[in-house]
């Protein structure tokens, strides 16, 4: 795996619509950093779908597998709690690509409570003394409010 992959856009949306491969355009529908639930809602609560759009900038990159991790930052214990791991998602970069868009579909997310949540895009480190460690390469947040 190449270390020459960087993410400049990492956006959560309800739906992402991509056009054919000839066009380099995507519609991000329902981009919102707040998820409202009714005041009488009980948790856990299921969010049917969440799409994550990532725009990668590449420098002689090889195919990479990514994991998406959902974290509840405002857990009552005051410790952040991982509430979901999704993937691995394989993104097949070509050596001649300079930019590549990818969409990660997360179905049936189980929200555990209100408050701040973070979504991290992780990859496994393949070189050096920290081989096998997961490295965060992009992060975004959303807030669940009543």
Write down the mean pLDDT value for the chain.
Answer: 85
- For the full predicted model, state whether its pTM sits above 0.85: no
Tens digits of per-residue pLDDT, 32-87? Answer: 888 888 989 899 999 888 999 998 887 777 778 899 999 999 999 999 999 999 99
Task: Give pLDDT, residue 75.
Answer: 94
CATH superfamily of 5-18+41-145: Immunoglobulins (2.60.40.10)
Beta bridge partners of 89: 66
Token readout for 48 is 């049917």
Please state, in angstroms and as integers, the Cα–Cα distance from residue 134 to each residue in 66, 67, 72, following that order.
9, 9, 18
Average pLDDT, stretch 14-25?
73
- Whether the CB-CB separation of 121 and 139 falls below 8 Å is answered with yes
pLDDT tens-digit readout, 98-111:
888 889 999 999 99
Q: Does pLDDT of 22 surpass 70?
A: no
The tokens for 12 are: 């959560």
Task: Give Cα separations from 56 to 15, 46, 86 (angstroms).
Answer: 19, 29, 19
Listing DSSP states for 88-128 in one string gives EEEE---TT-SEEEEEEEEEEEEE-SSEEEEEEEEEE--SS
């Amino acid at each position: 795996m190449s270390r020459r992959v960087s993410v400049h856009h990492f956006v959560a949306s309800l739906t992402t619509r991509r056009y054919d491969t000839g066009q380099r355009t995507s519609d991000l529908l329902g981009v919102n950093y707040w998820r409202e639930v009714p005041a009488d809602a009980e948790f856990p609560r299921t969010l049917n779908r969440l799409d994550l759009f990532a725009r990668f900038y590449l420098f002689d990159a090889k195919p990479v597998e990514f994991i998406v991790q959902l974290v509840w930052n405002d857990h009552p214990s005051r410790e952040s709690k991982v509430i979901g791991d999704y993937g691995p998602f394989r993104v097949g970069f070509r050596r001649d690509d300079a930019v590549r868009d990818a969409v990660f579909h997360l179905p049936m997310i189980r929200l555990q409570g209100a408050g701040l949540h973070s979504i991290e895009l992780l990859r496994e480190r393949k070189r050096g003394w920290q081989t096998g460690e997961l490295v965060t390469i992009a992060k975004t947040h959303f807030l669940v409010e009543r």
